[in-house]
Amino acid sequence: MIDTENKFKAVVSHAKEYGFVFASSEIYDGLGAVYDYGPNGVELKKNIKAYWWKSMVQLHQNIVGLDAAILMHPKTWKASGHIDAFNDPLIDNKDSKKRYRADVLVEEYAEKRRQKAQKEIDKAKKRYGAAFNEQEFVTTNKRVLRYYQEADTAIQRLTSALESDDLKGVKDLIVELGIKCSVSGSANWTDVKQFNLMFKTQLGADAETAMDLYLRPETAQGIFVNFSNVQNTSRMKIPFGIAQIGKAFRNEIVARQFVFRQREFEQMEMQFFVRPGEELKWFEYWKKERESWHRSLGFKTEDYRFHPHDKLAHYANAATDIEFNFPFGFKELEGIHSRTDFDLSAHERLSGKKLQFFDPETKERYTPYVIETSVGMDRMFLAVFSKALEEEQLDDGKTRTVLKLPAILAPTKIAVFPLVKRDGLPEIAQEIVEDLKWDYQVLYDDKDTVGRRYRRQDAVGTPFCVTVDYESKTEESVTVRYRDSMEQKRIKIAELKTLLHQELDFRNWVERK
């Protein structure tokens, strides 16, 4: 068993050792919070994206796709509010010189208070056993009440200071709460400053005429500025959605937590355009849809939770996060936002072009409201990868490291081994590979003992291994070994495709869950 403390380290080192994730430009000592995906990583990533795309676009007749450019006209970011408001409040510790996000310091303080309350509840649960009444305990125990109140007050004060742009108030709060730097242990803080997260670049070589551009910090704006192009050409009627997968860039201050918080990352976003006044109904609809999408991957219910926003972004009238239990605790995996008509109206004002919908039935023309679902591809990768990684104690006293990835996302679907490298067995194994490779990512391996080959495939998450032995020559059958149960079954070579179809077909997978 990998304990929680070591889990994150195990995830990072396993990802590197087995070709999933490398630090970017590692030979030059890497680049902070930028990562490259290796041969297994790129397959897993591709499968996550395909699973999202099929679920959102292919299964919904009223959602279409888009692939907008990363570089956009700079007015885009004025309209969207990113130039004026896409800031993080940062604070430095004068002794360690370490930089923090001021809001995150307060949020972590509040989370620690809640954890303390939870510890009291767990202790009482143990003490009183079946007679324990949690509801009563939580509402009457003085210590639990105090911890929750401290957490709530801290968040409320942070929210109101940020909403009124009171940076001094944020610093005062940090000092009052006694928050200390984790490196120096001191509370010797600078003032809080706002820091814009967009990366700047330039279009054109001539200094006089060059235009300042930004690398997009979210893919959403590419969808908004194309609203009319897409609506007119695809003849979509409201309600309808536009989906997009693409890179986004943010100059993050706190660059930690591996691929969780990067400066270059990918988003899978969908903007769903609805009639004004109906947005909260659709907000609830998409909360449920997205929750069930995550659950369809087979992780435990208790690994997810909703976290409604205390502080709404400048464009939203409702927002929630789907949080996932990462190795470092519950953190945001996906955001679901009711963005009102903020973006379309702002682009209309700045561009002078109409971004409206004309309803041919009611003859009404209006600016639609928008529900957004936005999930970080890299965070999905980390969620799936970290939950799947297990160290298992086997009956013979040995341990195995196994990546129990949902089979539909596994980089390699099937590995084919000849038992020995002679007597025609490699040829039969190669024939199977040649036949299956058209539909699945297949791997041939004839090195080492079969046991070792199983271990190698367990470590990269291959759900099925097939061994060709002497019986294969006479009976045209093979052994299939299942990664999770390690169970082995004898089946005919001709039945392999049916088995893989049952286990890996998108429809079978979704309908089974």
CB-neighbour burial class of residue 512 (10 A; exposed 0-12, middle 13-18, buried 19+)? exposed
Q: Where does 313-445 show beta strands of DSSP type E?
A: 318-326, 329-340, 357-359, 364-366, 369-376, 389-393, 399-403, 414-418, 442-444
Among residues 269, 279, 343, 469, the one that binds ligand GAP under rule CB under 6 A: 269
β-pairing, 99-101 vs 87-92, is: antiparallel
Using CB under 6 A as the binding rule, whether residue 386 contacts ligand GAP is answered as no
- 504: which 2 tokens? 């890996």
Nearest-approach distance from CB 85 to ligand GAP, in angstroms: 12
Q: Which residues contact 222 (CB under 8 A, 6 or more apart)?
A: 66, 68, 69, 72, 216, 244, 246
Of positions 376, 406, 411, 418, contacts ligand GAP by CB under 6 A: 376
Task: Provide the minimum distance between the beta carbon of 377 and ligand GAP in the complex, in angstroms, as a whole number.
Answer: 8
The neighbour count for residue 168, using CB atoms within 10 Å, is 10
The yes or no reply on residue 258 touching ligand GAP (CB under 6 A) is no
Asked if 103 touches ligand GAP (CB under 6 A), the answer is no
Which of 310, 323, 332, 390 contacts ligand GAP by CB under 6 A? 332
375 binds ligand GAP per the rule CB under 6 A: yes
In whole angstroms, what is the distance from residue 34 CA to residue 25 CA? 9
What whole-number distance in Å separates Cα of residue 322 and Cα of residue 415? 35
**CB of 313: closest distance to ligand GAP in angstroms?**
8
* Segment interacting with ligand GAP, rule: CB under 6 A, options 76-84, 107-115, 129-137, 331-339: 331-339
| C-alpha–C-alpha distance, residues 408 and 401, integer Å | 20
Query: Would you count residue 88 as binding ligand GAP (CB under 6 A)?
Result: no
With respect to ligand GAP, which residue has the nearer C-beta, 187 or 255? 255
From 110-118, 157-165, 222-230, 265-273, give the range in contact with ligand GAP by CB under 6 A.
Answer: 265-273
Binding mask 288-327 for ligand GAP (x = CB under 6 A): ----------------------------------------
Q: Check binding of 265 to ligand GAP (CB under 6 A).
A: yes
Judged by CB under 6 A, does residue 379 bind ligand GAP? Answer: yes
Contact status: 223 vs ligand GAP (CB under 6 A):
no
Beta strands 477-482; 193-196: pairing state: unpaired
**CA-closest candidate to residue 217, choices 196, 241, 232, 203:** 196
For ligand GAP, the binding residue among 76, 80, 373, 374 (CB under 6 A) is 374
Residue with nearest beta carbon to ligand GAP: 376
Report the nearest approach of ligand GAP to the CB of residue 323 (Å).
9
Whether a cis peptide bond, with omega within 30° of 0, leads into 308 is no
The residue type found at 18 is Y
- Residue whose CB is less far from ligand GAP, 47 or 262: 262
In the list 47, 267, 325, 477, the residue contacting ligand GAP (rule: CB under 6 A) is 267
Please, what is the minimum distance in Å from the beta carbon of residue 259 to ligand GAP?
A: 7
- Residue 110's H or E segment, with its range, is helix 102-128
Tell me: does residue 371 bind ligand GAP (CB under 6 A): no
| Closest distance of CB 390 from ligand GAP, Å | 24
Contact letters (x/-) for ligand GAP, 181-220, by CB under 6 A? Answer: -------------------------------------x-x
Nearer to ligand GAP, 218 or 469 (CB): 218
Residue 81 phi/psi, 5° resolution? 95, 0
**Buried b or exposed e, range 124-153, using 16+ CB within 10 angstroms:** beeeeeeeeeeeeebeeeeebeebbebbee
Instruction: Count residues near ligand GAP (CB under 6 A).
Output: 19
CB of 374 to ligand GAP, least distance (A): 4
Task: Give min distance, CB of 197 to ligand GAP, in A.
Answer: 9
> Closest separation between CB of residue 30 and ligand GAP, Å?
16
Q: Tell me the H-state helices in 177-310.
A: 220-225, 227-234, 279-295
Q: Is 250 in the site for ligand GAP (CB under 6 A)?
A: yes
Stretch that binds ligand GAP, among 41-49, 50-58, 370-378, 502-510 (CB under 6 A): 370-378
Q: Tell me if 426 contacts ligand GAP by CB under 6 A.
A: no
CA distance 321 to 298: 20
Report which of 355, 342, 378, 371 is spatially closest to residue 82, judged by C-alpha positions.
Answer: 342
Write phi, then psi, for 176 (nearest 5 degrees): -60, -40
Give the residue carrying structure tokens 């003490």.
127
Contact residues: ligand GAP, CB under 6 A: 218, 220, 250, 252, 261-262, 265, 267, 269, 332-335, 372, 374-376, 378-379
